Chains A and B, each alone.
Chain A
Amino acid sequence: MSVEIYTPQAFHRQAHDALGNPQIRGNFRKAMDGLMTKRRDIFNDWDLETLRELGANIRLRALAKLPDLLEQLEANCQANGIQMHWAEDGDQACRIIREICQARGAKSVIKGKSMVSEEMHLNAHLEEAGIEALESDLGEYLVQLNEQTPSHIIMPAIHLNTDEISDILHDKTGTERTRDVDYMTAAARQQLRERFMSADVGVSGVNFAVAETGTLCLVENEGNGRMTTTVPPVHIAVTGIEKVVEHLRDVAPLYALLTRSATGQHVTTYFNLINSPRKRGERDGPEEVHLVLVDNGRSSIYQDDELLDTLRCIRCGACMNHCPVYTRVGGHTYGTTYPGPIGSILMPHMLGLEATQDLPSASSLCGACGEVCPVKIPIPDLLVRLRKEAVGEGRGNVLGAGVKRNKKEVAAWKSWQWMATHPGAWRGGTAIAGKLQVMMPAKLGPWTDYRTMPKPAKTSLHALMKRHRQEKES
């Protein structure tokens, strides 16, 4: 299996390759069809619209009070004994985590699933500092063994099928080649248990950080999140600044929405609420707990009333599962940490539109992503907004705004606008276009790669109608 580096700049080539790869097409089709059905069925007993409304309101309320809630979170975490850190970008967050590790003389880190740590390339940073970072979520472990990155935010190894996973485990860990999923799962359990015991530091993400109580909530099925945050002597949690919620009761509806939207489960096996390091007299749990709050472009998104909705996201991945583009090309094609519709509205802020200019266009604007979003993010509207930003017609407040602006295209549309608002010129122009139709170019840039070039009619509709009326009158 070849290991490839994917970039957002190469979106078109990667999409072309993925579309021509029956393995990828098959793996995603099967997985996403199943996830769509499961999600639909699991909400049967619910007043879904009311629940979504509540989820959206909770997230909007948290964002409305964001700076105050972050301060409240900090104060309550500190009162609970959790050490707080703030990072403006991914590099700073990596340095903070490395320094905590080095202060403990740590040589090995075991990681729970965390998309923010992917976003800041934490593993590579730690390894450069001589600290081994091992993923403990089974899917993440498999993609790490395969020297890949996740292709989905909830199911990191969804692009691999059983045979491929069997090969990876056989090649990298010496297990037998098999299609027996229980055997492979048991092998991974055995391999990772030893590492949980020997790790110096556990790193995890955070699903919800509760300002009211200074609580870090973790949603998971495997128990690796609990192991990571309980067994090693130090636990470092890392999260984006937008993950804060105001009250503990706010997590109840969000948790209900998250598990059902993500994988069609009514609940996950574990919901872990962490409040403090091991207290005096307690028998297990880490001696130190740290929380690293990462900005990395989020405070820029926060400035704009429209773009702000991006920050409501609770990272369920439902938009990906239902996106006709994602389900055909897969997550790696996007070349970014967050793929699919949410990635297409989030990554331009993190990497700038220069690098990600094709992502907002990687959508049919069918609206499925917006319809399934549990917190009602108007994703299609945001995709259109970013398309406008890319061609220099938005507010210009997104990094790299205007990068796709093409002088010829602008001139062509301006001429069109002028013609369409001057009836004489329009009639003359369409008459000439009809007469000269043989001279029209056969292709119109990439637009005609998959479309037939339109041909102006010999006689315009106006002329036809005029003739029709004359004939009727005579």
Chain B
Amino acid sequence: MSARDTILRRLRERTDGPLAAPKSDFAVVTGRGWSHDERLERFERWITSVHGEVIHTQRDNWLEVLSQVVSAKSIRRLALGREHPVAAEVRMELAASELKLVDSDRDVEGWQRELFEQVDAGLTSVRGAIAETGSLWLWPTQDEPRQLSLVPPIHIAVLDASSIEDTLFDVIEAHGWSQQMPTNALLISGPSKTADIEQTLAYGVHGPKELVVIVRH
């Protein structure tokens, strides 16, 4: 008998007999009823509490703000996708600048070392955010692959203020995650951190050292 069958048989032929499954009431993780402003305030409070930077912009001047961020942080090489409207707008606006735009829509094997050692920042869109915990949610794509938000020392995420929802439970339910999970779904709440050295907080241990969220209103 295979290990699988042995384990399943033992679980099915349980000595103390079948178990009853209790019902779950999820009310405690949903139904916050926050207004748009409350959601925004909570999102910002939580993500900045863990070292995330939030910059508010209008829909029509966000690229200017991005340019200022790029310049303030001395970003010389910015990796980004090509197709997502966020990336496409950046490419149009900043193509003529001194900033080197690095394409992320290619197989990582061809540029792994460049990504790890030369790229200063990765720019991604996000699908939305969660007010209760100050989290961004991303479903990486061919255009904006998984490592884009992980490997470069700075992650710039572009969030629309209208896409902030109350709780993780609400996001999972409202967007039907269980019917259409992507290869990788992610919540990101701040830059990479550790407290493994005597509980002293340090940022940027393996992932980005800085997370900049540009919130578009």
Contact = CB atoms under 8 A, between A and B. Distances in A.
Contacts of A142: 196-197
A269 B203 CA distance: 11
A303 B15 contact: yes
Q: Which 4 pairs between the two chains have the least Cβ-Cβ distance? A: A223-B207, A139-B196, A267-B133, A64-B19
A252 B169 contact: yes
Interface of B: 2-4, 6-8, 10-12, 14-16, 18-29, 46, 50, 104-108, 112-113, 116, 133-135, 142, 145-147, 150, 167-169, 172-173, 177-178, 181-200, 202, 204-208
B167 A252 contact: yes
Contacts of B204: 185-186, 189
A249 B26 contact: yes
Contact of B8 (A71, A223, A273, A279): A71
A313 interface: no
22 contacts: A47-B28, A60-B21, A88-B3, A88-B7, A142-B197, A155-B196, A185-B194, A215-B185, A224-B206, A230-B146, A231-B112, A247-B178, A249-B169, A267-B189, A269-B50, A271-B135, A271-B187, A273-B181, A273-B185, A282-B142, A283-B107, A303-B16
B190 A305 contact: no
B184 A274 contact: yes
B1 to A, nearest CB: 10
A156 interface: yes
Nearest to B47: A267
Most buried by A among B2, B14, B116: B14
B205 A222 contact: yes
Given A63-B19, A197-B112, A283 B105 contact: yes
A212 interface: yes
A160 interface: yes
A20 interface: no
B113 A283 contact: no
A157 interface: yes
A121 to B, nearest CB: 18
Given A157-B196, A221-B194, 19 more contacts: A51-B28, A54-B24, A57-B23, A136-B206, A142-B197, A158-B199, A162-B197, A193-B116, A215-B181, A221-B193, A226-B186, A267-B46, A283-B104, A283-B145, A284-B145, A284-B146, A302-B11, A302-B14, A304-B16
A92 interface: yes
Contacts of A248: 172, 177-178, 181
Contacts of A364: none
A266 B52 CA distance: 14
B181 A213 contact: yes
B67 to A, nearest CB: 27
A230 B107 contact: no
Interface string A302-338: 1111001000000000000000000000000000000
A438 B116 CA distance: 80
A161 interface: yes
A77 B116 CA distance: 31
Contacts of B108: 283-284
Contacts of B200: 162, 181
A382 interface: no
